[in-house]
Amino acid sequence: MTIKGKAYIAGIYEHPTRKAEDKSLAQLHAEVARGALDDAGLTRDDVDGYFCAGDAPGLGGLSMADYMGLKVRHMDTTETGGSSYVIHVAHAAEAIAAGKCTVALITLAGRPRAEGTATGTTSRNYGAASPDVPFEFPFGPTVVNQYAMAAMRHIYQYGTTSAQLAWIKVAASHHAQHNSHALLRDVVTVDDVVNSPMISDPLHRLDCCVITDGGGALVVVKPEVARSLRRPRVRVIGAGEAPKHQMGGKIDLTYSGAVWSGPAAFSEAGVKPADIKYVSIYDSFTITVLITLEDLGFCEKGHGGKFVSDGNLISGVGTLPFNTDGGGLCNNHPGNRGGLTKVVEAVRQLRGEAHPRVQVRNCDVALAHGTGGSLATRHGSATLIMDRG
Protein backbone atom coordinates (compact mmCIF):
# COMPACT_ATOMS: atom_id res chain seq x y z
CA MET A 1 0.00 0.00 0.00
CA THR A 2 1.16 3.51 -0.71
CA ILE A 3 -0.07 6.78 0.77
CA LYS A 4 0.60 8.59 -2.49
CA GLY A 5 -2.47 10.70 -3.26
CA LYS A 6 -4.50 9.11 -0.46
CA ALA A 7 -4.64 12.23 1.71
CA TYR A 8 -4.50 16.04 1.50
CA ILE A 9 -3.36 18.70 3.93
CA ALA A 10 -6.45 20.89 4.04
CA GLY A 11 -5.83 23.09 7.07
CA ILE A 12 -2.78 24.75 8.61
CA TYR A 13 -2.29 27.15 11.48
CA GLU A 14 0.70 28.65 13.26
CA HIS A 15 -0.08 30.41 16.53
CA PRO A 16 1.01 34.05 16.30
CA THR A 17 2.23 34.18 19.90
CA ARG A 18 5.89 33.68 20.74
CA LYS A 19 5.46 34.11 24.51
CA ALA A 20 2.31 32.71 26.11
CA GLU A 21 2.48 33.62 29.79
CA ASP A 22 -1.27 34.21 29.81
CA LYS A 23 -2.31 30.92 28.22
CA SER A 24 -2.41 27.33 29.44
CA LEU A 25 -0.86 24.51 27.44
CA ALA A 26 -4.22 22.83 26.79
CA GLN A 27 -5.66 26.19 25.72
CA LEU A 28 -2.86 26.63 23.16
CA HIS A 29 -3.59 23.17 21.73
CA ALA A 30 -7.26 24.07 21.37
CA GLU A 31 -6.54 27.50 19.88
CA VAL A 32 -4.32 26.05 17.16
CA ALA A 33 -6.90 23.32 16.49
CA ARG A 34 -9.57 25.98 15.94
CA GLY A 35 -7.19 27.90 13.69
CA ALA A 36 -6.39 24.96 11.43
CA LEU A 37 -10.03 23.82 11.21
CA ASP A 38 -11.09 27.38 10.31
CA ASP A 39 -8.37 27.50 7.67
CA ALA A 40 -9.67 24.26 6.14
CA GLY A 41 -13.31 25.32 6.33
CA LEU A 42 -14.13 22.44 8.67
CA THR A 43 -15.45 22.25 12.21
CA ARG A 44 -14.49 20.41 15.37
CA ASP A 45 -17.32 17.96 14.77
CA ASP A 46 -15.80 16.90 11.43
CA VAL A 47 -12.70 15.57 13.21
CA ASP A 48 -12.64 11.78 13.55
CA GLY A 49 -8.88 11.26 13.98
CA TYR A 50 -6.56 12.98 16.47
CA PHE A 51 -2.77 13.09 16.58
CA CYS A 52 -0.49 14.64 19.18
CA ALA A 53 2.91 13.98 20.74
CA GLY A 54 4.80 14.34 24.01
CA ASP A 55 4.06 18.05 24.35
CA ALA A 56 0.38 17.37 25.07
CA PRO A 57 -0.34 17.63 28.81
CA GLY A 58 -1.52 14.89 31.14
CA LEU A 59 -2.41 11.68 29.38
CA GLY A 60 -1.60 13.26 26.04
CA GLY A 61 -4.18 12.39 23.44
CA LEU A 62 -6.73 11.39 26.06
CA SER A 63 -6.40 14.61 28.01
CA MET A 64 -6.58 16.74 24.88
CA ALA A 65 -9.51 14.80 23.40
CA ASP A 66 -11.28 15.43 26.71
CA TYR A 67 -10.42 19.17 26.82
CA MET A 68 -11.42 19.76 23.20
CA GLY A 69 -14.51 17.56 23.35
CA LEU A 70 -13.32 15.37 20.50
CA LYS A 71 -15.21 12.27 19.49
CA VAL A 72 -12.75 10.35 17.35
CA ARG A 73 -12.38 6.80 16.09
CA HIS A 74 -8.63 6.92 15.52
CA MET A 75 -5.81 8.28 17.69
CA ASP A 76 -2.01 8.25 17.34
CA THR A 77 0.47 9.73 19.82
CA THR A 78 3.73 8.78 18.08
CA GLU A 79 6.54 10.60 19.87
CA THR A 80 9.85 11.33 18.14
CA GLY A 81 10.47 14.76 19.64
CA GLY A 82 10.24 17.70 17.26
CA SER A 83 9.81 15.53 14.17
CA SER A 84 6.66 13.86 15.56
CA TYR A 85 4.24 16.03 13.56
CA VAL A 86 5.89 15.27 10.23
CA ILE A 87 5.39 11.59 11.04
CA HIS A 88 1.83 12.33 12.15
CA VAL A 89 0.98 13.60 8.65
CA ALA A 90 2.22 10.32 7.17
CA HIS A 91 0.41 8.27 9.80
CA ALA A 92 -2.77 10.27 9.23
CA ALA A 93 -2.50 9.53 5.51
CA GLU A 94 -2.05 5.82 6.32
CA ALA A 95 -5.09 5.87 8.60
CA ILE A 96 -7.17 7.68 6.00
CA ALA A 97 -6.05 5.23 3.30
CA ALA A 98 -7.05 2.36 5.58
CA GLY A 99 -10.47 3.89 6.21
CA LYS A 100 -9.80 4.54 9.91
CA CYS A 101 -10.62 8.24 9.72
CA THR A 102 -11.47 10.96 7.20
CA VAL A 103 -10.49 14.21 8.96
CA ALA A 104 -7.34 14.01 11.06
CA LEU A 105 -6.34 16.82 13.41
CA ILE A 106 -2.69 17.20 14.49
CA THR A 107 -1.79 19.66 17.28
CA LEU A 108 1.40 20.93 18.89
CA ALA A 109 1.84 23.50 21.65
CA GLY A 110 4.45 24.53 24.19
CA ARG A 111 5.47 27.36 26.49
CA PRO A 112 9.16 26.95 27.38
CA ARG A 113 9.68 30.74 27.54
CA ALA A 114 6.79 31.28 29.91
CA GLU A 115 8.09 28.43 32.05
CA GLY A 116 11.67 29.75 31.98
CA THR A 117 13.14 26.49 30.73
CA ALA A 118 16.91 26.57 30.06
CA THR A 119 16.32 24.54 26.94
CA GLY A 120 19.73 24.36 25.35
CA THR A 121 22.29 24.55 28.11
CA THR A 122 21.08 22.21 30.83
CA SER A 123 21.05 18.41 30.76
CA ARG A 124 17.69 16.78 30.69
CA ASN A 125 17.39 13.74 32.95
CA TYR A 126 15.09 11.21 31.33
CA GLY A 127 15.09 9.11 34.53
CA ALA A 128 16.80 6.02 35.85
CA ALA A 129 14.75 3.65 33.69
CA SER A 130 16.11 5.20 30.49
CA PRO A 131 18.97 2.81 29.67
CA ASP A 132 21.28 5.53 28.30
CA VAL A 133 20.99 7.87 31.30
CA PRO A 134 23.68 6.29 33.55
CA PHE A 135 26.15 6.40 30.66
CA GLU A 136 25.37 9.92 29.46
CA PHE A 137 23.71 12.15 32.05
CA PRO A 138 26.77 12.41 34.37
CA PHE A 139 28.77 13.91 31.50
CA GLY A 140 26.50 16.91 31.01
CA PRO A 141 24.92 16.30 27.60
CA THR A 142 22.83 19.33 26.63
CA VAL A 143 20.94 19.98 23.43
CA VAL A 144 23.62 22.40 22.26
CA ASN A 145 26.78 20.44 23.09
CA GLN A 146 25.41 17.26 21.52
CA TYR A 147 24.66 18.93 18.19
CA ALA A 148 27.99 20.72 18.58
CA MET A 149 29.80 17.37 18.59
CA ALA A 150 28.17 16.52 15.26
CA ALA A 151 29.29 19.89 13.90
CA MET A 152 32.82 19.45 15.24
CA ARG A 153 33.16 16.08 13.56
CA HIS A 154 31.78 17.39 10.24
CA ILE A 155 34.29 20.23 10.34
CA TYR A 156 37.11 17.78 11.10
CA GLN A 157 36.15 15.20 8.50
CA TYR A 158 35.03 17.40 5.59
CA GLY A 159 36.65 20.78 6.16
CA THR A 160 33.30 22.48 6.73
CA THR A 161 33.74 25.97 8.22
CA SER A 162 31.83 28.06 10.75
CA ALA A 163 31.33 30.67 8.01
CA GLN A 164 29.63 28.07 5.82
CA LEU A 165 27.34 27.04 8.69
CA ALA A 166 26.60 30.73 9.26
CA TRP A 167 25.18 31.06 5.74
CA ILE A 168 22.24 28.90 6.87
CA LYS A 169 21.32 31.44 9.56
CA VAL A 170 21.92 34.29 7.12
CA ALA A 171 19.44 32.77 4.65
CA ALA A 172 16.85 32.22 7.40
CA SER A 173 17.20 35.83 8.51
CA HIS A 174 16.68 37.11 4.97
CA HIS A 175 13.34 35.29 5.00
CA ALA A 176 12.35 36.24 8.56
CA GLN A 177 12.54 39.96 7.83
CA HIS A 178 9.27 39.55 5.88
CA ASN A 179 7.47 37.58 8.61
CA SER A 180 5.75 39.96 11.02
CA HIS A 181 5.33 37.14 13.57
CA ALA A 182 9.00 36.08 13.53
CA LEU A 183 10.82 36.37 16.86
CA LEU A 184 14.01 37.62 15.14
CA ARG A 185 13.49 39.81 12.08
CA ASP A 186 16.89 41.46 11.69
CA VAL A 187 18.93 40.39 8.68
CA VAL A 188 22.29 39.08 9.89
CA THR A 189 25.62 38.54 8.13
CA VAL A 190 28.13 35.70 8.27
CA ASP A 191 30.29 37.93 10.48
CA ASP A 192 27.38 38.51 12.86
CA VAL A 193 26.99 34.75 13.28
CA VAL A 194 30.63 33.81 13.75
CA ASN A 195 31.18 36.75 16.11
CA SER A 196 28.16 35.95 18.28
CA PRO A 197 29.00 34.37 21.67
CA MET A 198 30.25 30.78 21.55
CA ILE A 199 27.71 28.58 23.31
CA SER A 200 29.39 25.21 22.81
CA ASP A 201 32.20 24.94 20.25
CA PRO A 202 31.75 25.27 17.32
CA LEU A 203 28.14 26.49 17.70
CA HIS A 204 27.65 30.19 18.35
CA ARG A 205 24.49 31.76 19.71
CA LEU A 206 23.30 32.54 16.19
CA ASP A 207 23.85 28.92 15.09
CA CYS A 208 21.06 27.99 17.53
CA CYS A 209 17.31 28.19 17.01
CA VAL A 210 15.04 30.46 18.99
CA ILE A 211 13.09 29.38 22.06
CA THR A 212 9.41 30.27 21.69
CA ASP A 213 5.97 29.53 23.05
CA GLY A 214 2.99 28.83 20.87
CA GLY A 215 2.25 25.95 18.57
CA GLY A 216 0.50 24.92 15.43
CA ALA A 217 -1.97 22.50 13.93
CA LEU A 218 -2.62 20.61 10.72
CA VAL A 219 -5.75 19.04 9.26
CA VAL A 220 -5.23 16.04 6.99
CA VAL A 221 -8.26 14.81 5.05
CA LYS A 222 -9.29 12.17 2.57
CA PRO A 223 -9.41 13.23 -1.10
CA GLU A 224 -13.20 13.48 -1.26
CA VAL A 225 -13.20 15.92 1.66
CA ALA A 226 -10.37 17.97 0.11
CA ARG A 227 -12.29 18.32 -3.14
CA SER A 228 -15.32 19.65 -1.25
CA LEU A 229 -13.34 22.47 0.36
CA ARG A 230 -12.59 25.90 -1.10
CA ARG A 231 -8.87 25.85 -0.47
CA PRO A 232 -5.90 25.21 -2.78
CA ARG A 233 -5.20 21.49 -2.55
CA VAL A 234 -1.94 20.09 -1.17
CA ARG A 235 -1.52 16.37 -1.67
CA VAL A 236 0.66 14.00 0.37
CA ILE A 237 2.70 11.96 -2.12
CA GLY A 238 5.50 10.35 -0.14
CA ALA A 239 6.84 9.89 3.37
CA GLY A 240 9.63 8.16 5.21
CA GLU A 241 10.57 7.83 8.85
CA ALA A 242 13.59 6.37 10.61
CA PRO A 243 15.20 6.45 14.02
CA LYS A 244 18.96 6.80 14.16
CA HIS A 245 20.79 6.03 17.38
CA GLN A 246 24.21 5.11 18.69
CA MET A 247 24.30 1.81 16.78
CA GLY A 248 25.60 -0.10 19.81
CA GLY A 249 28.60 2.20 20.07
CA LYS A 250 29.51 2.32 16.36
CA ILE A 251 28.91 6.04 16.41
CA ASP A 252 29.10 8.11 13.22
CA LEU A 253 27.97 11.70 13.72
CA THR A 254 28.38 12.75 10.09
CA TYR A 255 24.96 11.58 8.95
CA SER A 256 21.37 11.52 10.22
CA GLY A 257 18.38 9.23 9.83
CA ALA A 258 17.53 11.25 6.73
CA VAL A 259 19.73 8.81 4.80
CA TRP A 260 16.88 6.32 5.33
CA SER A 261 13.75 8.48 5.58
CA GLY A 262 14.70 10.52 2.50
CA PRO A 263 15.04 7.70 -0.04
CA ALA A 264 11.83 6.10 1.28
CA ALA A 265 9.91 9.33 0.74
CA PHE A 266 11.42 10.06 -2.68
CA SER A 267 10.71 6.52 -3.81
CA GLU A 268 7.09 6.61 -2.71
CA ALA A 269 6.55 10.05 -4.26
CA GLY A 270 8.30 9.09 -7.49
CA VAL A 271 10.36 12.28 -7.50
CA LYS A 272 14.04 13.15 -7.10
CA PRO A 273 15.76 15.94 -5.17
CA ALA A 274 16.07 17.94 -8.40
CA ASP A 275 12.25 18.02 -8.68
CA ILE A 276 11.79 19.73 -5.30
CA LYS A 277 11.09 23.47 -5.60
CA TYR A 278 11.05 24.31 -1.90
CA VAL A 279 12.32 22.62 1.28
CA SER A 280 11.44 23.06 4.94
CA ILE A 281 14.42 21.60 6.79
CA TYR A 282 14.40 21.21 10.56
CA ASP A 283 16.81 23.84 11.83
CA SER A 284 17.37 23.30 15.52
CA PHE A 285 20.92 24.35 14.69
CA THR A 286 22.70 25.31 11.50
CA ILE A 287 24.49 21.95 11.47
CA THR A 288 21.15 20.12 11.46
CA VAL A 289 20.28 21.72 8.11
CA LEU A 290 23.67 21.09 6.55
CA ILE A 291 23.78 17.38 7.43
CA THR A 292 20.13 16.90 6.42
CA LEU A 293 20.58 18.48 2.98
CA GLU A 294 23.50 16.14 2.32
CA ASP A 295 21.59 13.11 3.57
CA LEU A 296 18.53 13.92 1.44
CA GLY A 297 20.75 14.04 -1.65
CA PHE A 298 20.59 17.76 -2.43
CA CYS A 299 24.40 17.65 -2.53
CA GLU A 300 27.13 15.08 -1.98
CA LYS A 301 28.07 14.03 1.54
CA GLY A 302 30.69 16.45 2.80
CA HIS A 303 29.81 19.15 0.27
CA GLY A 304 27.06 20.73 2.36
CA GLY A 305 29.21 23.66 3.43
CA LYS A 306 29.83 24.72 -0.14
CA PHE A 307 26.18 24.04 -1.08
CA VAL A 308 24.64 26.34 1.55
CA SER A 309 27.11 29.19 0.97
CA ASP A 310 26.62 32.45 -0.89
CA GLY A 311 22.88 32.61 -0.41
CA ASN A 312 22.04 29.32 -2.11
CA LEU A 313 19.16 28.76 0.35
CA ILE A 314 17.68 32.29 -0.04
CA SER A 315 14.41 32.47 -1.96
CA GLY A 316 14.84 34.38 -5.22
CA VAL A 317 18.65 34.19 -4.91
CA GLY A 318 19.77 30.57 -4.62
CA THR A 319 18.88 27.24 -6.18
CA LEU A 320 17.11 25.71 -3.14
CA PRO A 321 14.88 28.11 -1.15
CA PHE A 322 14.47 26.84 2.40
CA ASN A 323 12.50 27.81 5.52
CA THR A 324 10.94 30.90 3.97
CA ASP A 325 9.11 31.74 7.22
CA GLY A 326 12.48 32.24 8.91
CA GLY A 327 12.44 28.71 10.31
CA GLY A 328 13.40 27.76 13.82
CA LEU A 329 16.55 29.83 13.54
CA CYS A 330 14.62 33.12 13.31
CA ASN A 331 10.87 32.68 13.34
CA ASN A 332 9.50 30.06 15.70
CA HIS A 333 10.37 26.78 17.44
CA PRO A 334 7.23 26.33 19.52
CA GLY A 335 7.68 24.12 22.54
CA ASN A 336 11.21 23.30 21.34
CA ARG A 337 9.55 21.25 18.61
CA GLY A 338 9.90 22.53 15.08
CA GLY A 339 8.44 19.81 12.86
CA LEU A 340 4.90 21.11 12.61
CA THR A 341 5.86 24.58 11.44
CA LYS A 342 8.03 22.95 8.77
CA VAL A 343 4.92 21.39 7.25
CA VAL A 344 2.96 24.65 7.64
CA GLU A 345 5.41 26.70 5.57
CA ALA A 346 5.69 24.00 2.90
CA VAL A 347 1.88 24.05 2.55
CA ARG A 348 1.90 27.86 2.32
CA GLN A 349 4.45 27.60 -0.50
CA LEU A 350 2.43 24.98 -2.40
CA ARG A 351 -0.74 27.07 -2.03
CA GLY A 352 1.07 30.21 -3.17
CA GLU A 353 0.28 31.77 0.22
CA ALA A 354 3.83 32.42 1.42
CA HIS A 355 4.85 36.06 1.84
CA PRO A 356 5.17 37.50 -1.69
CA ARG A 357 8.81 38.40 -1.09
CA VAL A 358 9.70 34.77 -0.40
CA GLN A 359 7.08 32.89 -2.43
CA VAL A 360 8.79 30.39 -4.76
CA ARG A 361 7.54 30.66 -8.33
CA ASN A 362 5.77 27.61 -9.74
CA CYS A 363 6.15 25.80 -6.43
CA ASP A 364 4.54 22.50 -7.39
CA VAL A 365 6.54 20.01 -5.30
CA ALA A 366 7.84 20.65 -1.78
CA LEU A 367 9.55 18.68 0.96
CA ALA A 368 9.39 19.02 4.74
CA HIS A 369 11.88 17.25 6.98
CA GLY A 370 12.00 16.83 10.74
CA THR A 371 14.86 15.84 13.05
CA GLY A 372 13.60 15.23 16.58
CA GLY A 373 15.68 14.31 19.61
CA SER A 374 19.44 14.68 19.37
CA LEU A 375 21.60 14.38 16.29
CA ALA A 376 24.47 13.04 18.43
CA THR A 377 22.66 10.35 20.41
CA ARG A 378 19.23 9.29 19.16
CA HIS A 379 16.80 11.07 16.91
CA GLY A 380 13.77 10.48 14.74
CA SER A 381 14.06 11.57 11.10
CA ALA A 382 10.93 12.19 9.09
CA THR A 383 10.61 13.23 5.44
CA LEU A 384 7.35 14.33 3.83
CA ILE A 385 6.86 15.17 0.15
CA MET A 386 3.81 17.07 -1.05
CA ASP A 387 2.57 18.45 -4.34
CA ARG A 388 -0.30 20.54 -5.64
CA GLY A 389 -3.27 18.24 -5.80
Partner 1 sequence: MAPAEPALEKENKPVSGFERKVPAPPVTPETQPFWSAAAEGRLLIKWCRSCDQAHYYPRSICPFCFGDTTEWREASGRGTIYSYSIMRRVPVPYAIAYVTLEEGVTMMTNIVDCDLDAIRIGQQVQVVFRPTEGGPPVPMFAPA
Residues near partner 1, by CB under 8 A = 113, 118-121, 123, 125, 127-128, 131-142, 144-146, 148-153, 156, 197-203, 205, 208-211, 246-251, 253, 376-377
Give yes or no for a contact between 105 and 47, defined as CB atoms under 8 angstroms apart.
yes
Q: Which is nearer to partner 1, 69 or 197 (CB)?
A: 197
CA–centroid distance for 34 within its chain: 21
Residues 307 and 167: their CA atoms lie apart, in Å, by 10
Three-state secondary structure call for residue 303: coil
Q: Which is nearer to partner 1, 326 or 389 (CB)?
A: 326
Q: Which is nearer to partner 1, 70 or 208 (CB)?
A: 208
Q: Which residue type, as a one-letter code, is found at position 388?
A: R
Q: Which is nearer to partner 1, 162 or 383 (CB)?
A: 162
Output the smallest distance, CB 28 to partner 1, in A. 18
Three-state secondary structure call for residue 369: strand
Phi-psi region of 215 (alpha: psi -120 to 50; beta: other; left: phi over 0): left
For residue 53, what are the CA distances in angstroms to 64, 122, 152? 11, 22, 31
Output the smallest distance, CB 130 to partner 1, in A. 9
Task: Give the relative orientation of helices 84-97 and 339-351 as an angle to the nearest 10 degrees.
Answer: 60
Q: Which is nearer to partner 1, 2 or 377 (CB)?
A: 377
Provide DSSP, 231-248.
S--EEEEEEEEEEE--GG
Q: How many residues does the chain have?
A: 389
Output the smallest distance, CB 158 to partner 1, in A. 12
Residues 15 and 341: their CA atoms lie apart, in Å, by 10
Residues 6 and 14: their CA atoms lie apart, in Å, by 24
Output the smallest distance, CB 378 to partner 1, in A. 12
CA–centroid distance for 378 within its chain: 16
Output the smallest distance, CB 178 to partner 1, in A. 22
Q: Which is nearer to partner 1, 200 or 292 (CB)?
A: 200
Q: Please work out, in degrees rounded to the nearest 5, the angle formed at the alpha carbon of residue 191 by the alpha carbons of 154 and 145.
A: 40
Q: Which is nearer to partner 1, 125 or 189 (CB)?
A: 125
Query: Do the strands 278-281 and 365-373 form a parallel or antiparallel pair, or are they unpaired?
Result: parallel
Provide DSSP, 56-98.
S-TTTHHHHHHHHT---SEEE---BTBTHHHHHHHHHHHHHHT
Residues 222 and 6: their CA atoms lie apart, in Å, by 6
Output the smallest distance, CB 184 to partner 1, in A. 10
Q: Which is nearer to partner 1, 285 or 307 (CB)?
A: 285
Output the smallest distance, CB 126 to partner 1, in A. 10
Output the smallest distance, CB 115 to partner 1, in A. 11
Q: Which is nearer to partner 1, 268 or 294 (CB)?
A: 294
Q: Which is nearer to partner 1, 35 or 215 (CB)?
A: 215
Output the smallest distance, CB 164 to partner 1, in A. 18
Q: Residue ranges of the alpha helices (H) in the chain? A: 25-40, 61-68, 84-97, 112-115, 143-158, 162-176, 190-194, 223-228, 258-269, 286-295, 304-308, 339-351
Output the smallest distance, CB 124 to partner 1, in A. 12
